[in-house]
């Protein structure tokens, strides 16, 4: 008879609310911010929107990496 231990298996990913919220923000923000700027401040060309979205995505990915690498490092 095998006894199952409580918790996750080694290597199984963790999905905390803060991880999912950060991921959603990293995906939605590069799309939403240039569109909101275009709507409420002034028109932007497609190239400007594309460059802004790429920069926001790059910054968001770096923030996610540095924020959540500590929790990934502490895994059993």
Cα–Cα distance list, 58 to 14, 16, 24, 26 (Å): 23, 22, 14, 9
**Angle made by CA atoms 41, 47, 49, in degrees to the nearest 5:** 40
pTM above 0.75, yes or no: no
The answer, yes or no, to whether residue 1 has pLDDT greater than 90, is no
CA 8 distance to own-chain centroid: 23
Share of the chain above pLDDT 90, in %: 11
pLDDT digits (tens, 9 = 90+) for 58-71: 998 888 888 777 66
CA 35 distance to own-chain centroid: 19
Running DSSP on this structure, what letter comes out for residue 7?
S
Contact indicator for 20, 68 with CB cutoff of 8 Å: no
């Amino acid at each position: 008879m095998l006894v199952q231990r409580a918790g996750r298996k080694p290597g199984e990913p963790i999905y905390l609310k803060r991880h999912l919220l950060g991921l959603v923000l990293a995906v939605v923000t590069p799309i939403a911010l240039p569109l909101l700027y275009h709507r409420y401040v002034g028109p932007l060309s497609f190239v400007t929107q594309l460059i802004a979205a790429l920069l926001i995505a790059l910054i968001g990915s770096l923030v996610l990496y540095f924020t959540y690498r500590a929790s990934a490092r502490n895994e059993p």
